């Protein structure tokens, strides 16, 4: 059975369509891979011509009015187009027409939907399950216990139960999606220096220790909590299959430094397979033809890989 991958539009004013066009020009799918782009074909043709890129042969699905576009500035209209495309792709997945979604970047600020915090949360509500934001690169894999949460709210969002659930989801994703038979996991600390024995925070000695103990007793091979700066500086991530960070920048800064051009954002823990490039809309690059499509291309290949791995263990 073919692996059917749906690609969404992303924000049409950013670099999303450009990186898709470039990735499709490089993507050489096997005979058992089918692609479809949930995008206005007139927009695709117009941006391809503006950027001097070939118009892809991949079919476009857009049963909606044409989308106006202009490079470099997000608007509520461009945000609505991104949301419309995402909803079309979700409808196709629910009806069994596609097996996976690959989502170019959109702008959370411009999606006209109250409470919208990004693809991960939206897809979790649509598909159900314990959604886990996981980023994979050639050198490391990082997952997040909390995602797009203000730093002042991070501690209140964290709990023993949340961390244990995320560790379970990470362990399961490595097994079923990436074929890691016995995942080795690392858990990062919340405070600098892992609290320095309680002198600058007791979280590591109290609830984080309890979360780690619970996960170990469940049979997970997890170690920590490690002070994040020393862990990444000493390349501790090379000794494990994945690392759970407690908040966004703790995991994303080192990840983007090491894997910006080939990293893939994967939403694990859902029946739905979803991958994405690990960058944003990059308004300043839009329309210049200089956007790097490496992460988008890796996202396409990863989506196919995950679908095939899940089928193999059914």
What pLDDT is recorded for position 171?
A: 97
Inter-CA distances, 253 with 61, 111, 291, Å? 36, 25, 20
Inter-CA distances, 289 with 106, 278, 285, 292, Å? 18, 18, 8, 9
Identify whether residues 167 and 222 lie together within a single domain.
yes
Q: Which 3 state secondary structure label does DSSP give 36?
A: strand
Report the candidate in 7, 51, 8 with the shortest Cα–Cα distance to residue 291.
51
Identify whether residues 249 and 173 lie together within a single domain.
yes
What pLDDT is recorded for position 23?
A: 96
Identify whether residues 198 and 292 lie together within a single domain.
no
Identify whether residues 83 and 44 lie together within a single domain.
yes
Identify whether residues 263 and 283 lie together within a single domain.
no
Please list the alpha-helical segments (H only) found in the chain.
Answer: 16-26, 41-51, 76-94, 119-127, 151-157, 160-178, 207-217, 228-233, 248-259, 294-312
- HSE at residue 185, side-chain half, CA atoms within 13 A, is 30
Task: Report residue 208 as tokens.
Answer: 């984080």
Domain, as residue range, for 180: 130-269
Identify whether residues 137 and 265 lie together within a single domain.
yes
Identify whether residues 166 and 230 lie together within a single domain.
yes
What pLDDT is recorded for position 260?
A: 81
Identify whether residues 177 and 239 lie together within a single domain.
yes
Q: How many domains does one find in the chain?
A: 2
What pLDDT is recorded for position 255?
A: 94
| Cβ-Cβ contacts under 8 Å for 52 (sequence gap 6 or more) | 289
Q: How far is CA 120 from the centre of its chain?
A: 7
Which CATH number does the domain housing residue 288 bear? 3.40.718.10
Distance CA 150, CA 185 (A): 26
Identify whether residues 125 and 3 lie together within a single domain.
yes
Identify whether residues 286 and 179 lie together within a single domain.
no
Identify whether residues 142 and 113 lie together within a single domain.
no
Identify whether residues 299 and 217 lie together within a single domain.
no
Q: What is the mean pLDDT of each run of 10 residues along the chain (314 residues)?
A: 95 97 89 95 97 95 95 94 97 96 96 90 86 93 94 96 97 95 97 90 94 97 97 96 97 92 92 94 95 95 95 86
């Amino acid at each position: 059975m073919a692996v059917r991958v749906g690609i969404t539009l992303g924000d049409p004013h950013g670099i999303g369509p450009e990186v898709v066009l470039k990735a499709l020009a490089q993507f050489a799918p096997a005979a058992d891979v089918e692609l479809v782009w949930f995008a206005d074909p007139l927009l695709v043709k117009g941006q391809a011509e503006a950027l001097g890129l070939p118009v892809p042969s991949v079919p476009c699905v857009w049963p909606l009015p044409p989308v106006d576009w202009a490079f470099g500035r997000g608007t509520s209209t461009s945000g609505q187009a991104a949301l419309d495309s995402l909803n079309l792709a979700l409808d196709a997945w629910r009806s069994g027409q596609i097996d996976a979604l690959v989502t170019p970047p959109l702008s959370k600020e411009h999606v006209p939907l109250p409470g919208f915090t990004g693809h991960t949360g939206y897809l979790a509500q649509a598909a159900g399950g314990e959604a886990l934001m996981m980023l994979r690169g050639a050198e490391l894999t990082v997952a997040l216990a909390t995602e797009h949460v203000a730093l002042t709210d991070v501690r209140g969002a964290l709990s023993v139960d949340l961390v244990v659930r995320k560790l379970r989801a990470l362990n399961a994703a490595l097994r079923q999606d990436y074929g890691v038979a016995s995942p080795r996991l690392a858990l990062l600390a919340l405070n600098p220096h892992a609290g320095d024995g309680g002198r600058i925070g007791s979280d590591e000695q109290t609830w984080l220790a309890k979360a780690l103990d619970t996960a170990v007793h469940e049979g997970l091979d997890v170690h920590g909590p490690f002070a994040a700066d020393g862990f990444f500086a000493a390349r501790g991530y090379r000794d494990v299959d994945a690392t759970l960070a407690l908040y966004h920048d703790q995991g994303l800064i080192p990840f983007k430094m090491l894997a910006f051009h080939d990293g893939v954002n994967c939403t694990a823990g859902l029946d739905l397979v979803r991958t994405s490039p690990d960058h944003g809309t990059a308004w300043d690059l839009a329309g210049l033809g200089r956007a790097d499509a490496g992460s988008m291309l890796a996202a396409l290949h990863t989506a196919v890989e995950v679908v095939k791995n899940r089928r193999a263990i059914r």
